[in-house]
Amino acid sequence: MRERTLSLPELLSPAGDRERLEAAVRFGADAVYLGSSEYTMRSAPKNFSHTQVAEAVAYCHQNGVQVYLTCNTLPRNDEADGIGDYLRFVGESGADGLIVADIGVMMAARRLIPQVELHISTQTGIVNWRAACELHALGAKRVVLARELSLEEIRVIREKTPQELELECFVHGAMCMSFSGRCLLSNYMTGRDGNRGQCAQPCRWSYRLMEEKRPGEYFPIFEDESGSYILNARDLCMIEHLDKLAAAGVSSFKIEGRNKSAYYVAVITAAYRAALGVLGKDPGHYELPQWIVEETRRVRHRDYCTGFYFGVPQQGQYYESGGYVSRWEVAAVVTGWRDGWLSLSQRNRFAVGDELEVLEPGQRPVSLRVTAMRDGEGNAIEACPHATMELSIPSKNAFPPGSLLRKCKENE
């Protein structure tokens, strides 16, 4: 496994498919979590077939990264019938851990695949030390604590639980208006069960008020003609407070986002990897360079907050829209370098004269102006309009394959 400073928490990144998996590994994750097509709380990403899971595990282990498979839905009777076969597949895959939310699944896993660590999902809603202790007695190696806990509550749980029980907490990503992800709103309004990976996210919709005696007349809930997004939670960002989480006893820092892009996974993983580097140098004086904090703003995100870690959020909802702040986008992925030319695979259109930023693993982003451009045949071109087209641009620096070039879409 990848060597990790024992005093530092694990950095755990999401992997919705192979591209996002490689981004997480390349940009510094200690571990990744992913799902197959079954029993997973995220049905939107491509996820992994059984064969792909085995390949993903082999790839991660070759790079010193651990793999945790998700089996964190709340299965109904018909779904529970197939749990045994799925668990045997997990055991054969070589995965390091299994994330579960259902007590029946947990106990079946303990009997059928005792060699695989059991991680108890945030879906279980663990908010006290007694629950954590009992789950540990039943065989849990790790508990993913409820997102509604404060730092002080986490500290108490750490004090009153066995030291060998690991505590995992979310540090970044989307938050849900429900309790620890358990929500019936989507099922009630659309028939899509959020507890089985099919959430339609009605908490992100705009709502208006209708008075029962005046049907068809809709009144804005907020002082705005656009209505109000009354259930729309802000995103979580704890990058400036990792020292406090570590001091509270958190073992693993989890990034949410299996539905997010490979660019998102790369940038956020790289930012938290850099932040952990700062924390490791001097835990008592944790102060981040501004560029690390700014990296969290260079992906699609909602307005940030610190969740419940410092008490009940005073500004936990965002009422103006259900969309994202999205000022930056990935322009290309580096595939090689030769004789002063950087080989690229295009992701979004850019042109000669554009100012780009290059993000390579373990390094601060650097600027690169596009002074010329050649297509895959070596012909001079002024722009690259076709997705995934091969091209090259001049660069005195040989950035490694997998590095990302990005472009600001508007002035920040």
Question: For position 216, what pLDDT does the model report?
Answer: 77
Categorize the per-residue pLDDT at 223 as very low, low, confident or very high, splitting at 50, 70 and 90: very low
- Out of 290, 305, 320, a domain closes at 305
Mean pLDDT over each residue of the chain, to the nearest integer: 88
Region of poorest pLDDT, from 192-206, 234-248, 323-337, 365-379: 192-206
**Buried-state track 221-245, b at ≥16 Cβ within 10 A, e below 16:** ebeeeebbbebbbbbbbbbbbbbbb
Contact 133, 158 (CB under 8 A): no
* Mean pLDDT of the region 359-379: 96
Q: Are residues 240 and 290 in the same domain?
A: yes
Alpha-carbon distances of 354 from 211, 365, 367, rounded to whole Å:
53, 16, 10
Residue 200 lies in a domain: no
Q: How far apart are CA 17 and CA 4, in angstroms?
A: 25
313 falls within a domain: no
Q: What is the pLDDT of residues 386-412, one digit of tens each?
A: 989 999 999 999 999 999 999 998 644
**Do residues 249 and 158 make contact, with C-beta atoms less than 8 angstroms apart?**
yes
- Looking at the structure, tell me whether residues 31 and 169 fall in a common domain: yes
Cβ atoms within 10 A of the Cβ of 219, count?
10
Are 33 and 100 contained in the same domain?
yes
Tell me, what amino acid is at 190?
A: T
Residue 299 lies in a domain: yes
> Which distant-in-sequence residues (6+ apart) come within 8 Å of 48 by Cβ?
17, 18, 34, 35, 36, 37, 56
CA distance linking residue 58 with residue 97, whole number of Å: 14
Are residues 401 and 260 part of one domain? no
pLDDT confidence tier of residue 179, bands split at 50, 70 and 90: low
Q: How confident is the model at residue 6 (pLDDT cuts 50, 70, 90)?
A: very low
Residue 356 lies in a domain: yes
Read off the tokens for 147: 């997102």
Same domain, 121 and 265: yes
- pLDDT for res 1: 45
Across the range 261-268, mean pLDDT stands at: 96
C-beta of residue 39 within 8 angstroms of C-beta of residue 50: no
Taking residues 149-172, report their average pLDDT.
Answer: 97
The radius of gyration computed from the CA coordinates of the chain, to the nearest angstrom, equals: 23
Question: How large a percentage of the chain has pLDDT more than 90?
Answer: 69
Mean predicted confidence (pLDDT) in 269-298: 96
CB under 8 A, 24+ apart: contacts of 88-94 = 88/112, 88/113, 89/36, 89/50, 89/53, 90/116, 91/115, 91/116, 92/54, 93/50, 93/53, 93/54, 93/57, 93/69, 94/54, 94/57, 94/58, 94/61, 94/67
Domain contains 169: yes
What's the domain count of the chain?
2
pTM: 0.86
Q: Which of 271, 305, 339 is the last residue of a domain?
A: 305
Q: Residue 5 — very low, low, confident or very high, per pLDDT cuts 50/70/90? A: very low
Say which CATH number the domain at 390 has.
2.40.30.10
Residues 144 and 284 in one domain: yes
Higher pLDDT, 83 or 216: 83
* Domain housing 294: 10-178+233-305
Residue 228 has pLDDT above 90, yes or no: no
> Which residue among 270, 305, 340 closes a domain?
305
One domain, residues 143 and 257: yes
Residue 262's contacts (CB-CB under 8 Å, 6 or more residues apart) are 19, 20, 22, 23
Q: Are residues 31 and 126 both part of a single domain? A: yes
pLDDT for the residue 326: 83
**Distance separating alpha carbons of residues 389 and 40, to the nearest angstrom:** 34
CATH number, domain with residue 173: 3.20.20.70
User: How many other C-beta atoms can be found within 10 angstroms of the C-beta atom of residue 6?
Assistant: 5
- Distance, CA of 42 to chain centre: 12
**Band of the pLDDT at 33, cuts 50, 70, 90?**
very high
Is residue 217 within 8 Å of 210, Cβ to Cβ? yes
Q: Please indicate, yes or no, whether residues 100 and 24 belong to a single structural domain of this protein.
A: yes
Does residue 226 belong to any structural domain of this protein?
no
Residue 126 lies in a domain: yes
Q: Give yes or no: residues 283 and 341 share one domain.
A: no
The DSSP secondary-structure symbol of 103 reads: H
The verdict on 167 and 271 lying in the same domain is yes
Q: Is the pLDDT of residue 4 over 80?
A: no
The verdict on 83 and 167 lying in the same domain is yes
Got the DSSP string for 287-347? ---HHHHHHTTSSSBPPEE-TTTTSS-SS-B--S-SS-B--EEEEEEEEEEETTEEEEEES
Does residue 17 form part of some domain? yes
Residue 161 has pLDDT above 70, yes or no: yes
Q: What is the C-alpha to C-alpha distance for residues 385 and 115, in angstroms, rounded to an integer?
A: 50
